[in-house]
Structure 1
């Protein structure tokens, strides 16, 4: 008789599920449990029910942090996804020497984000920064700013850095997608008299709609996960102008030692990200699969 091996495939899943349970599932459950308590991390834990969620709903700074991150996401969609799409289109047309161009554009992605933040903090420095120095050399002294210290420009300044880093990442995604477009379709369009702009807008972009959808989802969810750039460059300042949910909840937990309230904010943030992902997926699923212009 052959041994019953029905359970054998599941045995191979045990190590992975154990790691997932310990590294992901258990912290999620504990964070949800902490959100119903008032605890400083080492003292007595007091159950407070939904008080932390009520506090979060009435916290103006926490609400504003979502506004800031939505503005940041809107800007980075343009600076990362749209710019990356345009760069990929240019590289796919001008292939000669494009390898070095792609490497140069992709290089910022490989740098540690903390290093990028420190470098750009020097660029934006109001006393000896490269940006103000360049404006002065061009006779545009009136445009000089304390870029990271002005509430009107701080969020935009951080968003530009994010765009500089990740535009190459999305360019690589779109370049790979463009290479999957059938050459027969491109050649047929050229025979019909289409120029490169028409090919890009009417043929290439519609045919990589799935790649664009994935890029948008990555950009949106990545925006909510943003932390290091904001923490190093502005730490939520000036006057809370660049405070986003992640920086605010980290301050609540590690600076103000309010683990319960920080956990409640983490739960809210997770729920918002999951809800947006589900809505985005549902809307994309309902779109017709039509690549015609």
Structure 2
């Protein structure tokens, strides 16, 4: 009680501040746990892919026959890839094969898939199996079979003679002009099934209501294709082009079995040149440089196709 009889208000103690809550640990497994899960796969990937690729880059900087001591030449082997007429021709042949292995099969596949998807053909699963069958057969077997078809006394010349066009018959794989297109047609036959099955899978996801609405607006089959089907399968188109283009650039067994790079070097491709220079001519450094260059080209093409697919899907 203060003087004067007036009561002074009681001083209240300041409210106690709540103690900070302990930090919660991040939910889920720690980053080290995730790394532990992917470590075995990464080790296998590094041993069987990254190390051989790095070793190939290292060998490409040397002039080496595989036996005697190597001589460092720097980028000399890569200069030869650009300056050597035979190597330039081999890369040019690979680009030509992209037309037969990738562009033609994809174009045929999308038309065939669109027709089958619209017609709702019975026994579609069986048809998919028949079309995809060349992908299952080993390329060595395919090469042997088609070499027999293209032989001077083979099935193709027999068919031409039977229909009165025997004058067109020739040794197809020995013709300097027609040998590369003949091999390319084999690639078209093999890759068309893959492109068709991929695109049919993409078209099966398109809602039928979109087609019905388009038909109510008076659109025909061609308009339906360009307005609905083609935009809806851009992702599958990118995948098909990527897989078939890689198959074209790395093809070796088909060339080795059918033509051996001939006649002359008219059907030689980079993968065949890698084999020829490394195991026949003893130019391991040059072969490694060709392989590294081919890897870079494949990567650039895949990146370009993927970018186009992503841009078209937006």
TM-score, scaled to structure 2: 0.86
Question: Is the deviation greater in 160-169 or in 268-277?
Answer: 268-277
Q: Quick one: distance in 2 between partners of 1:119 and 1:110?
A: 15
Q: Match for residue 26 of structure 1?
A: 51
Inter-CA distance 253–97: structure 2 relative to 1 (3 Å threshold)? same
The 8 Å contact of residues 94 and 248 in structure 2, kept in 1 or not, is answered as yes
Inter-CA distance 5–98: structure 2 relative to 1 (3 Å threshold)? closer
Q: Which ranges of structure 1 fall in alignment gaps of 5 or more residues?
A: none
Q: Quick one: distance in 2 between partners of 1:6 and 1:53?
A: 41
Name the Cα RMSD after superposition.
Answer: 2.0
Say whether 1:163 aligns with 2:188: yes
The 8 Å contact of residues 122 and 130 in structure 1, kept in 2 or not, is answered as yes
**Higher-Rg member (1/2):** 2
CA-CA distance at 1:34 after TM superposition: 0.5
The 8 Å contact of residues 238 and 305 in structure 2, kept in 1 or not, is answered as no
Say whether 1:179 aligns with 2:204: yes
CA-CA distance at 1:48 after TM superposition: 2.0
Q: Which ranges of structure 2 fall in alignment gaps of 5 or more residues?
A: 1-24
Q: Match for residue 92 of structure 1?
A: 117
2:143 to 103, 114, 117: 117
CA-CA distance at 1:6 after TM superposition: 4.2
Q: Match for residue 60 of structure 1?
A: 85
Q: Quick one: distance in 1 between partners of 2:193 and 2:31?
A: 47
Inter-CA distance 285–97: structure 2 relative to 1 (3 Å threshold)? closer
SS, match of residue 306 in structure 2: helix
The 8 Å contact of residues 79 and 160 in structure 1, kept in 2 or not, is answered as no
1:263 to 271, 283, 288: 288
Q: Quick one: distance in 1 between partners of 2:202 and 2:31?
A: 40
Q: Quick one: distance in 1 between partners of 2:123 and 2:302?
A: 38
Inter-CA distance 283–207: structure 2 relative to 1 (3 Å threshold)? closer
TM-score, scaled to structure 1: 0.92
Q: Deviations along 1:82-116, whole A, 9 cap, x unmatched? A: 11112211221232232222221111111011001
Correspondence list, 1:1-293, <5 A: 5-94=30-119, 95-127=121-153, 129-287=154-312, 289=314
Q: Quick one: distance in 2 between partners of 1:13 and 1:97?
A: 42
Q: Quick one: distance in 1 between partners of 2:36 and 2:219?
A: 57
Q: Deviations along 1:185-232, whole A, 9 cap, x unmatched? A: 011112223333332233212221221122222222221111111111
